[in-house]
Structure 1
């Protein structure tokens, strides 16, 4: 029996590359996307395998619930929370509807879809959840000279990182794996849709991002950064995080007295 993967944002970019790779690896795929025509094209391109297209808008509560219901009812072996929107702009300039869309797609949808599959995975003693974020999750300390400003987007990706790490610890010993996948700039339609021309910027291919994700799982990584050669930098960041967390005291710090 084929393993079953559910991929959101499956009609373009990293999601499409995941769907293509998983199909070639023998998975049955539930492909979720907004564009029904592109979903049909994906199915038609692979008549020899089982691809179930699900047209859903994960920026809406109804869209999330519809996919969550499917995820909870199926024996999903691999969930890839990849769907995303950018909306790169300072908070004061970000329309409320776009802020809501961004947080819904990148925070609420991964949370609820993960919740929908994790119980079944625990019962079966196996499963993998990949949350696709980005290296912008680490950009919070950047000075104002670093552009574009994108507080909501950076915050959403930072949430995905912390969510993945904490969930991985929660699930230790259950056979369920969690990975935060944090690529840098990738050659997809993602930025073009925001009116950004990055054609002159060196970019990683979506296929390479998928290769890194799958190899990262083999290496036992919870956080996979496809373009980061020196992985000890991640160890340094996370050690500093834990040092700050563990260094707190119930006493008021002397600098505040």
Structure 2
């Protein structure tokens, strides 16, 4: 298939599928690795990206399953709407919100259009695509959503020059996923937020950052961790964190602070 299908064509062509996954940011990196792994496991795929030629290469590389390329820019309202319509119309077994962009620069130097792009791709798109896909999953009593964030989601207190907005978007994905798990797990919908560290993809190269000398995890290992994490029931999957109790401690401290609040003003604020 070489032509990008319309929303209606995707629906018409896909009616007989048993397992269908939609992957955003599928043209490279983690998204591409997910597409190859899921295709090998027999999933039919809707692959979303901005680069038509990359998506067509992916179609050609997966001849044993049906792959529908959908060219869309999730930095725009129109792009988000187009993909959301497909999410709403299809019976997705798996939605992977992987698309990413990073504009690393000081907050005061970050142009408004680039800040808007970050917010669209990492907050608006994952939220609205999940919102579009969930009703069908709930109606069928099953489905999975994976939101790809990163370990910088836990890096708010750490020095990360030029990454304030980017770090905040990842933290949003963690909180969103945790709350969606609380709301939807009893209805058969599994939620995971995937938080890799530095991964050997084109992501940093597109920002003009050379990390070739830095130890990096492969995109394939990230996918392995995510899919294994689903079988383990992990809501937060951190592929490079050996001691899972560290994550449990983070979230335990969050809950402790949340539960320790009272209607009374804390003593440290009463002293002039």
Normalising to structure 1: TM-score of the pair?
Answer: 0.98
CA 1:208–1:126 in 2, change beyond 3 Å: closer, same or farther? same
List structure 1 segments (4+ residues) > 6 angstroms apart after TM superposition: none
2:109 to 72, 93, 98: 93
Instruction: Give the aligned CA root-mean-square deviation in angstroms.
Output: 0.8
Q: Is the 8 A contact 1:83 1:106 kept in 2?
A: yes
1:213 to 215, 219, 226: 226
1:65 to 81, 100, 110: 81
Question: Residues 18-97 of structure 1: matches in 2 within 5 Å?
Answer: 18-97=34-113
Counterpart check, 1:225 vs 2:238: yes
Aligned to 2:197: 184
Query: SS at the partner of 2:187?
Result: coil
| 1:89 shift after superposition | 1.6
Counterpart check, 1:240 vs 2:256: no
Q: Is the 8 A contact 1:12 1:188 kept in 2?
A: yes
| 1:148 shift after superposition | 3.0
- Stretches of structure 1 that go unaligned for 5 or more consecutive residues are none
| 1:211 shift after superposition | 0.1
- C-alpha distance in 2 between matches for 1:24 and 1:135: 28
- C-alpha distance in 1 between matches for 2:164 and 2:140: 39
Q: Is the 8 A contact 1:82 1:131 kept in 2?
A: yes
Aligned to 2:208: 195
| 1:46 shift after superposition | 1.8
- C-alpha distance in 1 between matches for 2:243 and 2:61: 38
Normalising to structure 2: TM-score of the pair?
Answer: 0.92
- C-alpha distance in 2 between matches for 1:169 and 1:46: 35
- C-alpha distance in 2 between matches for 1:147 and 1:181: 20
Query: How many residues get paired?
Result: 254
- Stretches of structure 2 that go unaligned for 5 or more consecutive residues are 1-16
| 1:2 shift after superposition | 3.2
| 1:138 shift after superposition | 0.4
